[in-house]
C-alpha cells in the first residue's frame, strides 16, 4: 500500500470513528484550512488558486447550515444566521479576492471551533452535531 493509500485509509477511518462533536470540529478545521490557503494564494500573487479553496469552504458552510436543526437548540436560529452570513461573505471574498473578507470569515470559524471544542470537552449536556442536525448529546 502506498503512502497516499495509507493516508486516505487513515482519514476515512478517522471520520468513520469520530464522535459527532469531533466531526463538526473536523469540518471547521477544513474550512479554516481552505480559507488560509485562499489567503496565501492572494498574498503570493496567485488569485486564480483562490476560487477552489473558497468554494470548498462554502460547501462546508452549506453542509453545516443544512444539517443544523434549529428546533432542538435555543441558539440554533442564531447559528444558522451566522452560517448564512459566512456563506455570503465567502462568496463576496471569492468574487473580490479580498483577503480582509477571508480573514473575517476565518476568524468567525475559528471562534466557533473554539466554542464547539469547549462544548465537546464539557461532555453530557453539551450541544453536539448529529446526522440529523444539532442535538443535545
Q: Using one digit for the tens of pLDDT, what is the confidence trace for 80-134?
A: 999 999 999 999 999 999 999 999 999 999 999 999 899 888 874 444 444 333 3
Taking the whole predicted model, whether its pTM rises above 0.95 is answered as no
Task: Specify the long-range contacts of residues 29-33, CB closer than 8 Å, at least 24 apart.
Answer: 29/113, 30/56, 30/60, 31/56, 31/57, 31/60, 31/61, 31/109, 32/106, 32/109, 32/110, 32/113
Per-residue pLDDT band at 5 (split at 50, 70, 90): low
> Which residues constitute the domain of residue 76?
3-136
Q: What is the CATH number of the domain that holds 75?
A: 1.20.120.340
pLDDT at 2: 75
* pLDDT 10s digits, 8-49: 664 555 555 568 888 999 999 999 999 999 999 999 999 899
Count up the domains in the chain and report the number: 1
Amino acid at each position: 500500500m502506498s503512502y497516499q493509500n495509507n493516508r486516505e485509509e487513515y482519514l476515512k477511518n478517522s471520520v468513520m470513528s469520530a464522535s459527532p462533536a469531533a466531526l463538526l470540529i473536523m469540518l471547521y478545521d477544513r474550512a479554516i484550512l481552505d480559507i488560509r490557503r485562499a489567503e496565501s494564494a492572494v498574498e503570493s500573487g496567485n488569485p486564480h488558486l483562490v476560487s477552489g479553496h473558497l468554494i470548498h469552504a462554502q460547501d462546508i458552510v452549506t453542509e453545516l447550515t443544512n444539517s443544523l436543526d434549529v428546533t432542538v437548540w435555543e441558539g440554533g436560529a442564531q447559528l444558522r444566521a451566522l452560517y448564512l452570513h459566512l456563506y455570503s461573505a465567502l462568496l463576496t471574498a471569492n468574487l473580490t479576492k479580498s483577503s480582509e473578507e477571508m480573514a473575517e470569515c476565518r476568524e468567525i470559524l475559528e471562534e466557533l471551533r473554539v466554542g464547539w471544542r469547549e462544548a465537546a470537552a464539557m461532555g453530557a449536556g453539551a450541544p453536539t452535531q448529529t446526522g440529523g442536525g444539532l442535538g443535545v448529546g
